[in-house]
Amino acid sequence: MKRYSQTTGEVGESSDLSPWKTADALDLVYVGYGLLIVVLVLVSYVLGAFTWLPYDPEQIRVDLLNAPPGSAGHLLGTDFLGRDILSRLIVGIQAYFLPGLLAIVISLLLGTTLGALAGYRSGEVETLVTYFNNLVDSFPRLVLILLVIAAFKPGIYYIMVVVGVTGVPAVASLIAGKIEFLGQKNFIEAAHVLGLPSRVILLKHILWHHCMPLLVIQATIGMGEAILIETSLSYLGFGVQEPTPSWGNMVQAGANYFFQGKFWPSTAPALSILFTILGFHLLGDGLNGILEGSAGK
């Protein structure tokens, strides 16, 4: 049964209502959750950077192996070597946070440049950029990274550069598509006619006003991917090495104990990965929903 009603009195103009008011409640929840995760990650990053941790993440406590959450002051319990899990999780963020930002920055900068070039001047430039996009997309990211690892045995930052580059096609095609779409509208022509100085300034107009939300959403997706890659790599043994914690190597280290029925050391980091990536995805989705809603109505 669906109920519809009309409020008595003056009918409001939809443009009067800000996008936040007309947004789907669900999208707001998504954004709220996403922001919560972002805040947690930021806070944890700072805590980890200054080692303001409840416990020393590498300190082994033989007397307190595999303690369940809440025991003896360990909020999330201890792992199979008695190390505090919460502290290890917090430190684990160091492994992906800054590198992830690097990847995002590269994706967005390079992607926007290429996308703008392709969208603004069609023809050969567009073909070249398309070729580049398809080329990058042809590689499974993990395989490409393994290739790079085989060649250089690089640190995580270099790997994130590769991740950033692999994220370029997505951003570029979005930006190019948006510019083509906007190009069909008249205001760009109008601006040209009005003698707005150079196309660069025009691009600032377009990019800032219209592409910004798109880029923010891409950034959230990018962070999710960076987390996935870093944790996968450290799981495979290529990233941060024991005893330094990374969410990936924590899961891997706890594997044997998992099969013995001691799930928590592997599951705690896995859940962290889950909730964090989910947070970034939902943030992007929620923002997308809100912005589309305000554009559509």
Partner 1 sequence: MVHSSSGPEIGAPPATGAREPGIFRGAAPTFPAGTVKLAATKPITLVLARELALAALLLVGVSFVVFVILYLSPGDPFSVLLEGQISNHAARAGLREALGVPRTWYVQYLSWLGNLLQGNFGTSIRTGLPVFGEIARVALSTLYLTLGSMLVTLLIAVPIALHSSVRGTTALNWLLTMLAYVVSALPVFWLGYVAVYVIIHQFGVFPLTARIAASSERTWPFSLLPIFVLGIGNGTVSEVVRHLREEMSRVMGEDYIRTARAKGASVWRHAFKEGLLIPMTEIIASKIPFILGGAVIVEQVFNWPGMGRMAWQAAQDRDFPVIMGIAMIAATLVRLGSLLQRVVYVAVNPRASNERRGAAWAE
Partner 2 sequence: MGAPLLEIENLRTYFHSRSKRAFIRAVDGVTMAIARGKTLSVVGESGSGKSVTALSIMGLLDAGPGVISGKITFRTDGGERNLLHDLEHYVTLGEQDGRIMEVSKDEAGWRKQVERIMAEVRGKEIAMIFQNPKSALNPFVTVGHQITEAIRLHTPTKHPREAKERSLYWLERVKMDSPRLRFDNYPYGLSGGMCQRAMIAMALSSEPALLIADEPTTGLDATIQSTIVGLLAELKSELGIATLLISHDIRVVSRLADDVAVMYGGTVVEYGPAPEILGAGFGLKHPYTAALLASRPSVQNVQENGGLPAIDGEVPDPIEVPRGCRFYARCNRVTDGIRDRCERREPELKEVTPGHQVRCWLYLD
CB-based burial, 164-201: b 16+ in 10 Å, e otherwise:
bbbbbbbbbbbbbebbeebeeeeebeeeeeeeeeebee
CA dihedral 74, 80, 81, 82 (to 10 degrees): 20
Contact between 284 and 220 under an 8 Å Cβ cutoff? The reply is yes
Asked if 2 touches partner 2 (CB under 8 A), the answer is yes
Cβ burial of 242 (10 Å; 0-12, 13-18, 19+) is: middle
- Give least dist CB 9 to partner 1, A: 29
Shorter beta-carbon distance to partner 1: residue 102 or 176 = 176
Asked if 274 touches partner 1 (CB under 8 A), the answer is yes
What kind and span of H or E run contains 13? none
Segment contacting partner 2 by CB under 8 A, of 4-12, 80-88, 104-112, 232-240: 4-12
What kind and span of H or E run contains 50? none
Q: Residue 99: CB partners within 8 Å, gap ≥ 6? A: 156, 157, 159, 160, 226, 230
Which one of partner 2, partner 1, none interacts with residue 3, CB within 5 to 8 A by kind? Answer: partner 2
Asked if 1 touches partner 2 (CB under 8 A), the answer is yes
Residues 10-69 that bind partner 1 (CB under 8 A): 26
**How many residues contact partner 1, by CB under 8 A?**
54
Asked if 295 touches partner 2 (CB under 8 A), the answer is no
Q: Contact positions toward partner 2, by CB under 8 A? A: 1-8, 11-14, 17, 22, 297
Q: Contact positions toward partner 1, by CB under 8 A? A: 26, 118, 122, 126, 130-131, 133-135, 137-144, 146-153, 173, 176-177, 180, 224, 228, 231-232, 235-238, 248, 251-252, 255, 258-259, 263, 266-267, 270, 273-275, 277-278, 281-282
